[in-house]
Amino acid sequence: MLKAITGTKDILPTEMQKWNCLEKLVKEIFTSFNYKEIRTPIFEETALFARSIGEETDIVGKEMYTFLDKGQTSLTLKPEMTASVVRAFIEHSLSKHQPLNKLFYISPMFRQEKPQAGRLRQFHQFGGEALGSTSPLLDAEIIIIVYKILFKLGLKDLAVKLNSLGIPSSRENYKNLLRDFLNNSKDKLSQDSRKRLDQNILRIFDSKLESDQEILKDAPFLIDFIDEESKADFEIVKTLLNQSNIPFEIDPKLVRGLDYYTKTTFEIVSGKVGSQSALCGGGRYDLLVEQLGGEPTPGVGFAAGMERILLACENEKVLDLPHEKINLYIVKIDKNLSEKVFELAINLRDNYQIPLKENEKYQNGVISLNIPFKVEFDYLDRSVKSQMRVANNLNTNFVLFVGGEEYNTGKVILKNMSTGEQFPIAIEKCKDEIYNQFLSSYSDP
């Protein structure tokens, strides 16, 4: 039997309600901060990721899905969005239209990691990138946005971890200090960490091994050596988070797995999802645009793993949504009325949309958020009794009986399933009648 590729996951209809709810919330919150959505292709030239994320990182070194196309160009399925957003920002000269671009995205990503709970090879991220300002207000803003999304979902077991990596020149002196320190215990370091000593020394802090962490306990921390400007910005970020009542802790070991960061970095971890605990991560990358060939433009952003967030929701028993309802089920009493029932269903679906309350209507910059009037009927020629069973299982608001004696006098019977009331209505007027009945009983779509 053919199966989905290891590390990929089908999102089945039963799970879609939660995904849609999360995506709606993400769009709402980003829109309230005036971020605009951006979509970029699934694949890019490999060089884009190698140059931005860094040749020595795990993502570029081990995890990318890279292949040659028929023209022998090396392409890579995007492992993250920041590089793609920056590429699009430069290519379309977005800074010409406005000095500050606040962008958000929801997209699948691809990394060939070892699959486990919360770690997939195709996963989904939502995220935001603000390009064009060094202001620490934006560092705080992106942390507030993602915290707000997680908070609104109802998640409680969260910890915001914050660090500053300073600017690269302040990092160089520190790296020498750290190297001197670690060289003293070089023999005790794991093989991976010893390799990193020369290639990417800061990433040694990422080691999961207790023996490495024991050595790092007394290591000097970068945050104590960063430049004055980074320090001052970091103070502002902390003040703004305090003002917004966002609890955080300083984690001097938070170096992040991508090379483009400068100054503020952060992660939000959950205590409810096992070892892959980071729900999101991000930070400032003031040199990346220039590094990829654009005019020097500072940037800051984050990305959050949607599968991990939904796993945290499941484990914290939040985002427990009510069963989806349908609005009308048409029960066919006479088998020969199939075509009439089909026609009625088409018309009702066409013409009826639940008008939202005025204050819900134009929220989020989406022109119409009308919820479709959901109509279903029987395609399988089932008995009236079993059609009723289906109607009950579908949790319908109303049932419309078509056929029998009333039908011969030009009428159909409408039954309100929550009150049990039923009454005949004229077929020609049935659309208006059903609509009025539905609206007067409508409270929760």
54 binds ligand HAM (CB under 6 A): no
Let me know if 16 is exposed, middle or buried by CB neighbors in 10 A (0-12, 13-18, 19+).
exposed
Which is closer to ligand HAM, CB of 281 or CB of 403? 281
125 binds ligand HAM (CB under 6 A): yes
Q: Please give the residues from 282 up to 341 whose contact with ligand HAM meets the rule CB under 6 A.
A: 282-283, 285, 301-305, 307-308
Residue 16 beta carbon to ligand HAM: minimum distance, rounded to whole angstroms: 19
163 binds ligand HAM (CB under 6 A): no
Find out whether 9 and 307 touch, Cβ atoms under 8 Å: yes
- The values of phi and psi at residue 30, to 5°, are -60, -40
Per-residue x/- track, 339-378, ligand HAM (CB under 6 A): ----------------------------------------
Which is closer to ligand HAM, CB of 282 or CB of 298? 282
Mapping DSSP to helix (H, G, I), strand (E, B) and coil, where does residue 328 land? strand
- Sequence-ordered list of residues with C-beta below 8 angstroms from that of 247, at least 6 positions apart, any chain: 159, 160
280 binds ligand HAM (CB under 6 A): yes
- The values of phi and psi at residue 331, to 5°, are -95, 125
What tokens were used for 158? 């969260």
Find out whether 416 and 395 touch, Cβ atoms under 8 Å: no
Per-residue x/- track, 99-118, ligand HAM (CB under 6 A): ------------x-x----x
**# residues near ligand HAM by CB under 6 A:** 28
Q: Please give the residues from 259 up to 278 whose contact with ligand HAM meets the rule CB under 6 A.
A: 278
Residue 160 beta carbon to ligand HAM: minimum distance, rounded to whole angstroms: 13
126 binds ligand HAM (CB under 6 A): no
Which is closer to ligand HAM, CB of 273 or CB of 399? 273
403 binds ligand HAM (CB under 6 A): no
Window contacting ligand HAM (CB under 6 A); options: 192-200, 279-287, 331-339, 414-422:
279-287
Partners of 425 in beta bridges: 412
Residue 85 beta carbon to ligand HAM: minimum distance, rounded to whole angstroms: 8
Residue 38 beta carbon to ligand HAM: minimum distance, rounded to whole angstroms: 13
Mapping DSSP to helix (H, G, I), strand (E, B) and coil, where does residue 93 land? coil
CA gap 113, 184 in Å, rounded: 32
Tell me how far apart the 2 most distant CA atoms of the chain are, in Å: 97
Residue 82 beta carbon to ligand HAM: minimum distance, rounded to whole angstroms: 4
Among 127, 294, 298, 403, binds ligand HAM (CB under 6 A): 127
Helix axes 191-199, 168-183, angle to 10 degrees: 140
Find the helix or strand (DSSP H, E) in which 64 lies. none
Which is closer to ligand HAM, CB of 54 or CB of 283? 283
- Sequence-ordered list of residues with C-beta below 8 angstroms from that of 234, at least 6 positions apart, any chain: 136, 164, 223, 226, 263, 264
What tokens were used for 386? 């079993």
Residue 128 beta carbon to ligand HAM: minimum distance, rounded to whole angstroms: 8
Window contacting ligand HAM (CB under 6 A); options: 66-74, 76-84, 208-216, 402-410:
76-84
Residue 350, Cα to own-chain centre: how many angstroms?
Answer: 32
Tell me the residue nearest to ligand HAM as measured from the CB: 305
Which is closer to ligand HAM, CB of 129 or CB of 316? 129
Residue 226 beta carbon to ligand HAM: minimum distance, rounded to whole angstroms: 18
**What are the DSSP calls for 370-414, one per residue?**
PEE--EEE-SS---HHHHHHHHHHTT-SEEEEE-HHHHHTTEEEE
Cα distance from N-terminal residue to C-terminal residue, the chain: 40
Which is closer to ligand HAM, CB of 80 or CB of 233? 80
**What are the DSSP calls for 421-438, one per residue?**
-EEEEEGGGHHHHHHHHH
**Stated length of the chain:** 445
Q: Report the side by side order of strands in the sheet with 411-416.
A: 375-377, 328-332, 398-402, 411-416, 422-426
279 binds ligand HAM (CB under 6 A): yes
What tokens were used for 389? 């069973």
Catalog residues that contact ligand HAM under the rule CB under 6 A.
80-82, 111, 113, 118-120, 123, 125, 127, 129, 257-258, 278-283, 285, 301-305, 307-308
